[in-house]
Amino acid sequence: MDILTWTYILVGISFSIYIGIAIYTRAGSTKEFYTAGGGVSPLANGMATAADWMSAASFLSMAGIIAFSGYDGSVYIMGWTGGYVLLALLLAPYLRKFGKFTVPDFVGDRYYSNKARVVAVFCALFISFTYVAGQMRGVGIVFSRYLEVDINTGVIIGMCIVFFYAVLGGMKGITYTQVAQYCVLIFAFMVPAIFVSIQLTGNPIPQLGLGGTVEDGTYLLDKLDGILVDLGFNAYTSGQKSMTDVFAITLALMVGTAGLPHVIVRFFTVPRVKDARLSAGYALVFIAILYTTAPAVAAFGIYNALNTVADQPVNQMPEWVGNWQQTNLISINDVNQDGVVQYTPDPVTNEMVIDKDIMVLAAPEIARLPNWVVGLVAAGGLAAALSTAAGLLLVISTAVSRDLCRTFIPTMTEKRELWIARIAAAAAVGIAGYFGVNPPGFVAEVVAFAFGLAAASFFPVIIMGIFSTRMNKEGAIAGMISGLVFTLGYIIYFKFGAGLFGLSDEAVSADNWWFGISPEGIGSLGMIINLGVCYVVSMLTPPPPQHVQEIIQEIRIPRGAGRAHDH
């Protein structure tokens, strides 16, 4: 069977499973819609969290980014996993004990202020919309490459699927679909990785294969360093970014991860505080399987590409190069007309441009794996994008129905709230789809916002809310706003300053970064500013009232978390 048939079969099967689960587990109450009734087992929740967290970017782009940046790519590897330690130790158990439904819920109650709640809602909406637009685009790309439909048709099909199970099923539906999606995506990521590892290094475990030897007996990484240095690039195992910047980006990504509302909210769905702790551990295990494999996929991919394309005759390119040239994800242009492909760091003489997304998408073809593996990768990419999109849509709909409508119309019936949640989810799907069809040119840049904002706004305020009994609403609001304004301002200045305010290229160049910290890493400085401001302001204003002190004492003790529904 050809690739297209296999892809249709595998994507079709996986989609029917998701829809079947959604119908079987649809939500009946707001509690089920928001937090699946709090009755999800820690293992299932860990798997769902992993699928929720690993987006199209983790599945499709990350290995490619590492392949082209080598050691510098470590910021994503450590940054997007280390956050789970913070989540497990500092947030998840206490927020589970708190026992409400959303992050703005916690901020609003702990800081006894609807102003604080509204600031938190704004952050949650901004972060989630930023993310979801990228996911929809990812769905469109996979559809257009593998199913040979128009990219916009792909986005619309994706919207219908997500609409169906997010709007109908709420958190309960999403949780069990995400469990299925995790299984699909991890299988799809590992199968080609294992095959390629065996081909290149003879070791079936990619994590070990990365440290293995290639045909001529030299270590893969040493060989890769050698090839790249010969071509005029930096060695693979050493980076180009400054140490300060690597430090700042890693910190911002870790703290940002721990502050992302769609990740935090997953820990509200387990029955007990101890389950929340354990569940974070399971989540990281499931995430680690992909994240420890990705660096291997990256190194194998770039090694294969360099070996089969660089310095080879233009008319003898392997078949996959031709296939992917049609999608513009790889382009070869024999600038100096010598009939050989030169790969160099200088854009003037370089003759091969490879898009980072190709490393995972094309890996099965590069390694000449059977056609069903190619179809599997397509299904995996869709699972990764859809599971994250659904989690984000839920945060958006909850923010609107619960954090906004419920706060200002407290007399609303539960049935009505559930309807508002569903309408909000439907509207969010529509908006996300619009951005998928008409992607703003700056999607990649905006991701820096999402993490920066989560790091500079949510994280410090939640931490202080748990670990300090003195932190009051004045401190929290001042802290959130100053962290937010500083981080936004810095990113806008350096990322969009030239376009928006006509600043000179020199003014926005890397030479002017504060302490050499790039906009991607500035969230870590924003977080420190937030903490500093909150501390000073809270010391100058009255301590929180007695009932808030009691909330804090209560969330610190595990026993007595709200009872959960059985499923």
Stretch of 87-95, 305-313, 453-461, 503-511 contacting another protein, by CB under 8 A: 87-95
Residue 74 binding another protein, by CB under 8 A: yes
CA dihedral defined by 52, 53, 56, 60, rounded to 10 degrees? Answer: -130
φ, ψ (nearest 5 deg) of residue 439: -65, 130
What DSSP string runs through 162-204? HIIIIIHHHHHHHHHHHHHHHHHHHHHHHHHHHHHHHHHHS-S
Q: Which of 9, 194, 212, 307 binds another protein (CB under 8 A)?
A: 212
Cβ neighbors of 327 (< 8 A, separation 6 or more) are 144, 145
Position 33: which residue type? F
φ, ψ (nearest 5 deg) of residue 352: -130, 120
Q: State the nearest-atom distance from the C-beta of 280 to another protein, in Å.
A: 6
DSSP for residue 353 = E
CA dihedral defined by 4, 321, 447, 405, rounded to 10 degrees? Answer: -10
- For another protein, give the closer residue by CB, 10 or 193: 193
Residue 90 binding another protein, by CB under 8 A: yes
Cβ neighbors of 511 (< 8 A, separation 6 or more) are none
- For another protein, give the closer residue by CB, 135 or 524: 524
Residue 233 binding another protein, by CB under 8 A: no
- For another protein, give the closer residue by CB, 71 or 233: 71
- Enumerate residues 537-556 that contact another protein by CB under 8 A: 553, 556
Stretch of 23-31, 147-155, 210-218, 359-367 contacting another protein, by CB under 8 A: 210-218
Stretch of 4-12, 291-299, 331-339, 481-489 contacting another protein, by CB under 8 A: 291-299
Residue 207 binding another protein, by CB under 8 A: yes
Interface map 253-272 toward another protein (x if CB under 8 A)? -x-----------------x
Stretch of 235-243, 255-263, 360-368, 498-506 contacting another protein, by CB under 8 A: 235-243
Quick count: other Cβ atoms within 10 Å of Cβ 15? 17
Q: Which of 8, 122, 219, 493 binds another protein (CB under 8 A)?
A: 219
Residue 274 binding another protein, by CB under 8 A: yes
Stretch of 284-292, 324-332, 397-405, 532-540 contacting another protein, by CB under 8 A: 284-292
**CA dist., res. 311 & res. 453, Å (int):** 44
Tokens 């392997």 belong to 318
**CA dist., res. 44 & res. 62, Å (int):** 25
- For another protein, give the closer residue by CB, 238 or 325: 238
Nearest to 95 by CA among 442, 439, 359, 459: 459
Binding site for another protein (CB under 8 A): 66, 71, 73-74, 77-78, 81-82, 84-85, 88-90, 93, 207, 210-213, 219-222, 237-238, 243, 246-247, 250-251, 254, 272-274, 277-278, 280-281, 284-285, 288, 291-292, 295, 553, 556-561
